[in-house]
Every structure is written in C-alpha cells, then in structure tokens.
Amino acid sequence: MQDQQIIIDKLNINYKIAGKGRCILILHGWGSSSERWQETAKILSQAGFKVVVPDLPCFGKSVEPPFGWSMGDYAEFVLKFAKELNLDKFFLIGHSFGGRIAIKLGAVYPEKIQGLILVGAAGIESARGFKSKIFLFLAKLGNSLFSLPLLKKLYPRARKTIYLLARTKDYFEAEGVRKEIFKKVISEDLTTFLSQIKTPTLLVWGKKDRLTPLKHGYLMKEKIPNSTLEVIPNFGHALNLECPQKLATAIIKWLKTL
C-alpha cells in the first residue's frame, strides 16, 4: 500500500489504498495510523476487496484540524472523505477510537454502510472507579493544588506519575488541539447510539483486551440488533498488530455471509 494525499476542507489528508472489489474503509485507533493497518489491509485486499485506510486528522501523516474536533466532526469528515473518493457505499471497520466514529456513523448514516465491523471499539463509559476519580480530581483541583509554593516544583513529575497510574497516558502525552479532542472524545458515552444501529454488525474482540474490556463487547452485542461477536483468545487490544491474519480471517468469513 502506498501513501496518497487528498484535500478535505483545506486539510491535507494522507491515506492508503489497495485492491479491487467491494470497498472496506478502515478507521484506526487513537495515536495510530494507516501504517499499522497495512498487514490486515493487505490480507483483505487479497481476498477481493478494495481497502482504504485514511490517517485521521491529527494522526499519522494527516494534519491537525484547526480546533478540537468532536466525534460529530470526525463522522462528518469520514463522509466527506468517502465522497471525495467516490465511495458511495462501503463496509466500515472501526478500531478503538475509530470504533467510536464508526458507531456514530452506523447509527446516524446507515444508508452509507453495507456492514459495520467494530474491533475493540471504545465508546462505552465504564462505572467510575479509582481511575476516573483520580482523573476528575486532577482536572478540577490539580492546577490549584500544585500552585502552592511548596508543591510547585513537584507538579510536573507528580502530574505525570498520577496520570500514568490512572492509565490516562494518552491524555498526558496529548498537546494542543489533540488534548482538546481527547477531552471531547472521552466525555461522550455512545451507549444510546448502539440500539440505533440497524446495519449488520460484526464485533471482534481480543479476550485479553485491557483497554476496552471484553465485557464492552458483550454489552454491544446485547444492544446492537443483528450483531455477531467474535472473540479471539490469547490476544489483546491491538489485534491488527498482534494477529492480523486472525483478525482478517474473522472479517472475511463474516463478510461472505452478507
């Protein structure tokens, strides 16, 4: 797969494309890019599909949007991207953060999507435990607490340590527009959109997924009508990197039923 570029709303967007046949559009996860989907895309293209993988704005070789986009903004971007490439209808794969976008598209624009594949998709808000409480505490009180003279010098190191312990590394490492996007993304619970998805849906989950636990996959299976859950044992969240052949095989097998 080779890089190609296109302009969408004055934004330079990078994407990869391979194969011929019915189209599969892949939306990668947070901090990822089209590069990390090359192996899976290659297998899918060899099975008789045209596969398109954009670097979502703010990631890979695509530029940042001019402001902190919401999930709605990313959904609109995907529609514009598909239109520019003359993708009238397509199968949509969304992984993790890309799964959030795919859920919204599947619920709001079903006429565009022939089949929906959610791979370790994010979008369900977990019950607030220690992690969430620490994150909210830092967001509300962190700056004022560490502005005290005795604590000011400790702030950078303490802030980093607590974020990592609370597993909010993505937020800590994000800067500028990306940080604003992250805050908007995690604040939106997409559970209510699940029951609105009428498109045939395949859910693929790694049994050892710790970022989007398997219980979220079961909940999505319960909420999404006409959905199938495929669990891949011994693997975690990044199935496209950990076991691209198993992931692609599960997708191809399901697509052949449509």
Enumerate the domain spans of the chain: 2-125+189-255, 130-182
- Confidence band for 1, pLDDT divided at 50, 70 and 90: confident
pLDDT for the residue 133: 53
For the stretch 86-122, pLDDT in tens is: 998 999 999 999 999 999 999 999 999 999 999 999 9
Query: Residue 128 above 80 pLDDT?
Result: no
Q: Give the tens place of pLDDT for each residue, 207-227.
A: 999 999 999 999 999 999 999
229 has a pLDDT exceeding 60: yes
With a cut of 80, say whether residue 156 has pLDDT above it.
no
Chain segment 158-203, per-residue pLDDT in tens: 555 544 444 454 444 555 788 889 888 888 889 999 999 999 999 9
Q: Whole-model pTM?
A: 0.85
138/15: higher pLDDT: 15
Would you state the pLDDT for residue 187? 82
Predicted pLDDT of residue 138: 56
**Whether pLDDT at 130 is above 50:** no
What pLDDT was estimated at residue 38? 97
pLDDT value for 63: 96
Mean pLDDT throughout 54-68?
95
Q: What is the pLDDT of residue 176?
A: 73
Mean pLDDT of the 110-138 span: 75
pLDDT digits (tens, 9 = 90+) for 2-32: 899 999 999 999 999 999 999 999 999 999 9
Residue 135 pLDDT exceeds 90: no
What does CATH list as the number for 2-125+189-255? 3.40.50.1820
Q: How many CB atoms lie within 10 A of CB 168?
A: 20
pLDDT of res. 5: 96
Q: What is the DSSP string of the chain?
A: -EEEEEEETTEEEEEEEE--SEEEEEE--TT--GGGGHHHHHHHHHTTEEEEEE--TTSTTSPPPSS---HHHHHHHHHHHHHHTT--SEEEEEETHHHHHHHHHHHH-GGGEEEEEEES---PPPP--HHHHHHHHIIIIIHHHTTSTTTGGGHHHHHHHHHHHTT-HHHHH--HHHHHHHHHHHT---HHHHTT--S-EEEEEETT-SSS-HHHHHHHHHHSTTEEEEEETT--S-HHHH-HHHHHHHHHHHHTT-
pLDDT of 134: 55
